[in-house]
Copies of this chain bind each other. A is one copy, B any other.
Amino acid sequence: MKKGTLALLIHGGTDNWSPERWQARFNEVCRDRPVLSLAEARSAAAEVHYAAVWKPAPGKLAVFPNLRAIFNLGAGVDAVLADKTLPDVPLVRVAVGDLTGRMTEYVVLHVLMHHRQEPYLRQSQREKRWAPKAQWAASAISVGVMGLGTLGADAAQVLCRLGFKVAGWSSSRRDIAGIDGFHGPDQFDAFLRRTDILVCLLPLTSDTRHILSRDVFAKLNRSGPLGAPVVINAGRGGLQNEADILACLDDGTLGAVSLDVFSQEPLPADSRFWTHPKVVLTPHNAADTDPDEISRYVARQIERFEAGGALENVVDRERGY
């Protein structure tokens, strides 16, 4: 296949994710290939063969008549798929080891913080109280991971190594050594009933939107040592019903949450999430992947594709991820 041109459709990134930094980076890894900025691509639409995109506005991709593939620079493709005019070419998502490792760090950190009663211990330090509480072992806690793709599977395995009882739930069956596997709608309730700490790493699709809601929280295990279940969402804000989360924290249906994502980001200053004593929040930084690794990944995929190989991690549009 003839060597194609790559256009960068990058909106809104700052610092390391600014359009200028991305262009410098792609120029580095695509040495014999033209790399066009957003403005350059607009004035030479017919020459664009590949698009690397970050938060493109709807309609922006439809103007390129000779597009061969689209590379989303993040793992979640829900925003790109929402574009009704998206060209019918392969859409590739990022799947690099760096992103997986960072997400596992986040999940392990937040599971351990709740398990080891960190909010209580920090409060005790502020109040100068030497007051250790009884502490159970990891083996007393059932963690349930929703979503057993690359990210969920890796996090589940490390939690298992730490001694937690780990189950996973996914749309289709996945067998992972040491992980108690559940799949499909029929097994969802059984998965929830045995779960003390629920970790959500699902993709956002029409099936999963607002899946983190009161009827799910009410089915989680209430008889574990934590006293009330804990929810950790590092997937997408659209997965959570935020009014339900706050109401369930208030009435004790949930004991605590860790949230990295929100329906509106940055989180508005008047959100109750900022100040709720049972909320641990992070500013959507669970898995800020190294842009150098992402750009090398895209360049490698294009080279292999032009040499006759298949693209990897192509999104199934029917499934939505």
Contact = CB atoms under 8 A, between A and B. Distances in A.
Interface of A: 15-16, 98, 101-102, 104-106, 108-109, 112-113, 115-116, 118, 121-122, 124-125, 128, 130-135, 137-139, 158, 161-163, 265-267, 269, 274-275, 279-285, 288, 290
A274 B15 contact: no
A128 B269 contact: yes
B283 A132 contact: yes
Contacts of A138: 101-102, 105
B265 A132 contact: no
A101 B162 contact: yes
Contacts of A124: 283
16 contacts: A15-B134, A16-B134, A101-B137, A101-B139, A101-B162, A102-B137, A105-B116, A105-B138, A109-B118, A121-B283, A130-B283, A132-B288, A134-B288, A135-B285, A137-B290, A161-B161
Contacts of A284: 132
Given A124-B283, A274-B128, A102 B266 contact: no
Given A102-B135, A102-B137, A284-B132, A122 B122 contact: yes
A198 to B, nearest CB: 19
Contacts of A98: 137
A101 B280 CA distance: 25
Contacts of A274: 125, 128
Given A138-B101, A158-B158, A265 B130 contact: yes
A286 B275 CA distance: 28
A196 to B, nearest CB: 15
Given A105-B138, A137-B98, A285 B158 contact: no
Nearest to A109: B112
A285 B43 CA distance: 64
A102 B158 CA distance: 15
A298 to B, nearest CB: 19
A109 B102 contact: no
Contacts of A125: 274, 279-281
Contact of A158 (B106, B116, B135, B162): B162
A283 to B, nearest CB: 4
A288 to B, nearest CB: 5
A310 B230 CA distance: 45
Contact of A135 (B115, B118, B265, B288): B288
